[in-house]
Chains A and B, each alone.
Chain A
Amino acid sequence: MHPATEKLVSDLQALSIEARSCDFAQRGYHLEIDLEAGQVRTLAECMLKNDMYLVFVGGLHVQPATEVIYQFASFEHPCRVVARAAVDGNNAVPTISDIFQGANWHERETRDFFGVIFTGHPYLKPLILAEEDADLKPLLKSDADLKESGAVRWAPPEEPAAEKKSPNADDKKTEEG
């Protein structure tokens, strides 16, 4: 691990955010983070302090709650971070557009596609969709297609044997559901 990445991990640890190391050759990113909705701004501030830039903010419609995905990377050393935060009971997460100004449009786009509310966003109006389609939420899944959050995740690392079998196991789940 690059020293700067180690520092980032320990900084996050101090803020009680756990960053797990991943196999870049398989997944294409180095660190994986699971967040509570309330920790999003803490994470973004820590990322800015560690000279990371925001790659994108996106959404993922899963059960039990829609997840907001943040990807950060570094201009200086190879380090790509994927963080996921499930929305709270009001379908909302705090905005990070005052920390990373680039998030402004990404958050508006995520609101367009998923209907996620970014609390504190200065101008949460449709960006990509037209005004009359503001409530279309085109990327929400139908009930038949909607999956559990765990069904679109890598199998936990301590069960390497289960990892290979997982695609088939998921298929069965889909057929049943």
Chain B
Amino acid sequence: METATVTNGASIELEPAVDIPSSCNHYYLNMGPQHPSTHGVLRVLLEMDGEYVVEAQPVLGYGHRMHEKMAEHKTWMAFMPNTGRMDYAAALPYNHGYVSLFERLCGIEVPARAEYIRVITSELNRIVSHHLWLGAFLLDLGAFTPILYTFDDREQVLDILEDVTGSRLTYCYYRVGGVCKDIDDKFVERTRAFIKRQRERFKVYNELVTGNIIFLKRVEGVGIITPEMARRYGVTGPVLRGSGIAYDIRKAEPYSVYDKFDFEIPVGKTGDSLDRYLVRLEEMEQSLRIIEQALDQLPEGPYLGKVPKKLKLPTGDSSFAVEAARGELTYYLVSGGGDIPYRLKIRVPSYSNLSVLPELGKGLLIADLVAAMGSLDLVIPEIDR
């Protein structure tokens, strides 16, 4: 076991490097926990050979709050606000999975209008999340301008969502049996205006970024994840689809009313950082298509169904998977009766997506490691929970 001494004098044991002989020329570098490209408090301990990464070891837990323990100590409804505080960039899919878990378990019917509102707001949230990623990813690569454009667009959606949900980031909007507030004509009108505006903005993104030779040189062929590697690590979401596997929970295990919409699953070819970029950009367009269809078909009726005040959970375990902005989010509930869960396991997408980093980072230039990590679209509070 090797021991590295870092600047503060503490020593850390490293996982033994495989295949690479240790050399006296290697040195250790701390990337994070306050590094701009780690997007939150993630620390990556790097063993370096000059500019090349020999070993990249993520160090987690700086933002750990033990949500799973909190879930065992309050009623399942009181845990609802926690669900919006893991993946803060796309909290609504987390709300969605959580309420759907109990609706399925207790056999609660949700009015059609509520399901449509959920799909519309979830997809808006996905777009917002991809806006944030796009700006931050290019910032990592040294391009400052795009974030100014994407944050302008992000503001448009946040204003729409703020009106209906009451918050801008850590949403707690869905309820078991529906949503807590109805959408009105103003919402519909503003969302349609946003769709029109966003389609114009894609042209700006493409002119500014996609064809840019400096951008292409930084991402093409960098950080390749093969389908076989993705399977071994349980990689999901846009990262998996960048590797060419068309797996999306919205299609594979259709929940809510996703089976009523016509949309495609964009996939990449080689699984490099460029493919992941292109997949997310296309996904934003597909989300717009879903929202457009949902607005067209939006049924009238109640937005919150009749639900008993105190729900008693049946004894047993159940699982619910949704497609969050970063991949597969699974809630696994074990109940022993009553209304407090016995155990709630939360499987978050970024956790498995980041776990490829030690294998992915081997032999990369440190600048390329930043590009590869940016293309994974990590949200650290989600990993640490």
CB atoms of B332 and A147 under 8 A apart: no
B78-86, B165-173, B307-315, B370-378 - the one binding chain A: B307-315
CB of A82 closer than 8 Å to a CB of B: yes
Q: B69: which A residues are within 8 A, CB to CB?
A: 138-139
CB atoms of B319 and A129 under 8 A apart: no
CB atoms of B315 and A154 under 8 A apart: yes
Q: A14: which B residues are within 8 A, CB to CB?
A: none
CB atoms of A125 and B13 under 8 A apart: yes
In the bound complex, CA of A62 to CA of B314 (Å): 17
Q: Say how far B81's CB is from chain A's closest CB, in angstroms.
A: 21
Tell me what chain B mostly uses at the interface: helix, strand, loop, or mixed.
mixed
Q: A113-B68, A167-B337 are in contact. Are A152 and B319 (CB under 8 A)?
A: no
CB atoms of B317 and A123 under 8 A apart: no
Partner of B64 from the list A104, A105, A128 (CB cut-off 8 Å) is A128
Q: A56-B332, A102-B355, A154-B315 are in contact. Are A26 and B104 (CB under 8 A)?
A: yes
Q: Say how far B127's CB is from chain A's closest CB, in angstroms.
A: 25
CB atoms of A163 and B314 under 8 A apart: yes
Q: A53-B231, A78-B253, A122-B15 are in contact. Are A27 and B319 (CB under 8 A)?
A: yes
In the bound complex, CA of A48 to CA of B104 (Å): 30
CB of B132 closer than 8 Å to a CB of A: no
Q: B61: which A residues are within 8 A, CB to CB?
A: 126-130
**Contact residues of B between 300 and 326, Cβ < 8 Å to A:** 312-321
Q: B352: which A residues are within 8 A, CB to CB?
A: 54, 102, 105
Q: A56-B347, A60-B343, A139-B69 are in contact. Are A167 and B314 (CB under 8 A)?
A: yes
Please encode chain A, from 50 to 81, with 1 for each CB lying within 8 Å of some chain B CB and 0 for all others: 01011110101100000001010101101010
CB atoms of A71 and B315 under 8 A apart: no
CB of B60 closer than 8 Å to a CB of A: yes
CB atoms of B347 and A166 under 8 A apart: no
Q: Say how far B375's CB is from chain A's closest CB, in angstroms.
A: 19
Q: A26: which B residues are within 8 A, CB to CB?
A: 104-105, 318
In the bound complex, CA of A82 to CA of B334 (Å): 12
In the bound complex, CA of A48 to CA of B232 (Å): 8
Q: A69-B332, A100-B232 are in contact. Are A56 and B345 (CB under 8 A)?
A: yes
Chain B interface size range: 35 or more
CB atoms of A153 and B316 under 8 A apart: yes
Q: B13: which A residues are within 8 A, CB to CB?
A: 125
Q: B64: which A residues are within 8 A, CB to CB?
A: 128-129
In the bound complex, CA of A163 to CA of B66 (Å): 32
CB of A171 closer than 8 Å to a CB of B: yes
CB atoms of A102 and B234 under 8 A apart: yes
Residues of B within 8 A of A (CB): 13, 15-16, 60-61, 64, 66, 68-69, 72, 101, 104-105, 230-235, 240, 245, 247, 252-253, 312-321, 328, 330, 332, 334-338, 342-343, 345, 347, 351-352, 355, 359, 384-385
Question: Can you list 15 A-B pairs, Cβ within 8 angstroms, ordered by A?
Answer: A28-B319, A28-B321, A29-B318, A53-B234, A56-B332, A71-B330, A75-B240, A78-B253, A105-B60, A129-B61, A147-B336, A152-B315, A154-B315, A167-B337, A167-B338
Residues of A within 8 A of B (CB): 25-29, 48, 51, 53-56, 58, 60-61, 69, 71, 73, 75-76, 78, 80, 82, 100-102, 104-105, 113, 122-123, 125-130, 138-139, 147, 151-155, 163, 166-168, 170-171, 174
Smallest CB-CB A-B distances: 6 pairs: A154-B316, A167-B337, A102-B233, A170-B337, A28-B319, A102-B234
